[in-house]
Amino acid sequence: MTGLGAVIMLGAGGSTPQEQLVRDAQRANVRDLLHLLRANRVEQIVLAAPQTDWLSDDRDLIRADDLPNAPFHFGQRLAALISAYRYDPALYFGGGSTPLLDSTLMETIVGIVTQAASGSSNLPDRLALTNNLHSSDWIGFTQVARALPIVADQRRDNSIAWALRENGGYEVRALSALRPATGFDIDTPTDLALLAQHPDIMPNLRAVLDDVRLTSIPIEAVLDVLRQNGKTVALIGRVSPMAWSALNRVCQVWTRVIAEERGMVASEREARGEVRSLLLPMLEGLGMEGFFAQLAELADAVLFDTRVLFAARGMTPSAADRYASDLLWHWAIEDEWLRAFTFAAATAPIPVVLGGHSLVSGGLHALVEILQRT
């Protein structure tokens, strides 16, 4: 084995303006991530993506362009790359997984994984370090030969940490114990709007966050509510208990929490069609405008992980439609139901922020940091 190495994987992104927003931010994040890795002596780095020519100025990077029109399986692709370059221990990063990492935290990641692999510390020799057990966006692990068959089975990166613990006997530790906001991942335009308010963003990513299109997402209005005493904020979806508690510690607001279906991706409940939502009957009974009118009577702002609702309805909206919904661009959505839902959210009498898992997990921790530092 060649020792410690890293694989970064980045999706293609789409051609619509909303998809390009996320793609450009993820590419900027990769540039910042490369700097962090090299600053911490990780020189063996593979970038796997549909195209890598947008990094034409980086000669030391190992490039692994995806084969055009070939079937893609995430776990098989990642396992093959780690095996081909003989990394042990190995680091994996999704392209948008590190917007709130800094050099100190990267030093911690590299140090823990290499020490566990060497057996020279009290760390378990079968260790995985990640940002989130239930929805991993990056992970480092030892005993690569044992891990790779499990990695190869995973259709998405979110399930790697869970699978290594459940099927491989790995002790999984989450870096969120040191800094909870490291669980935040760039996956939607909402994530970008939130990061645009954060003071500690690395330069390449910061440069793409100054985009007027992100102002359609009412993050600033939600922050205004959070800064006032006695207001009520509703948190809906895969709400992290730790994140909810962190928000309560820094804000003098009441919270209404509907937390459901945490781990629906990692446990494959979503893939099996087993996701259920308490809110779906309410939405169907009240109608969309009535639903948001009811929410407005109960809260002054809403942070809404809509992916649980989609899964409960058996919906798989395109990335273009999901992102347009997050941006509240109802006019840009093809799916009729989602267009009507987004219009109702955009015209609700209170600020409603729509997004994915990050919004009510790492995103809440990021909001806490924003409130503490601005």
Residues 156 and 228 in one domain: no
| Last-in-domain residue among 180, 198, 229 | 180
Residues 167 and 197 in one domain: no
pLDDT at 255: 95
Residues 159 and 208 in one domain: no
Domain of residue 39, CATH code: 3.90.550.10
Question: Mean of the pLDDT values across residues 190-207?
Answer: 96
| Last-in-domain residue among 153, 180, 207 | 180
Number of domains in the chain: 2
Residues 25 and 61 in one domain: yes
pLDDT at 179: 80
- Cα–Cα–Cα angle for 172, 173, 178, rounded to 5 degrees: 170
pLDDT at 182: 79
Residues 132 and 198 in one domain: no
pLDDT at 267: 81
Residues 152 and 193 in one domain: no
Residues 268 and 286 in one domain: yes
| Last-in-domain residue among 161, 180, 199 | 180
Which residue range is the domain that position 260 belongs to? 189-373
Q: Assess whether pLDDT exceeds 90 at residue 337.
A: yes
For residue 216 the two structure tokens come to 């359609």
pLDDT at 133: 85
pLDDT at 17: 94
pTM to 2 decimal places: 0.92
pLDDT at 221: 98
- Could you read off the pLDDT of 51-98 as tens digits, one per residue? 898 998 888 899 999 877 778 899 999 999 999 999 999 999 999 999
Q: Which residues pair with 7 in a beta bridge?
A: 46, 92
- Could you read off the pLDDT of 185-194 as tens digits, one per residue? 899 999 999 9
Question: Mean of the pLDDT values across residues 272-277?
Answer: 96
Q: 178 vs 298, which has greater pLDDT? A: 298
Residues 86 and 120 in one domain: yes
Total number of residues shown for the chain: 374
177, with CB counted inside 10 A (0-12, 13-18, 19+), is: exposed
Q: Which of 296, 315, 146, 154 is nearest to 232 (CA)?
A: 296
pLDDT at 48: 95
Residues 99 and 31 in one domain: yes
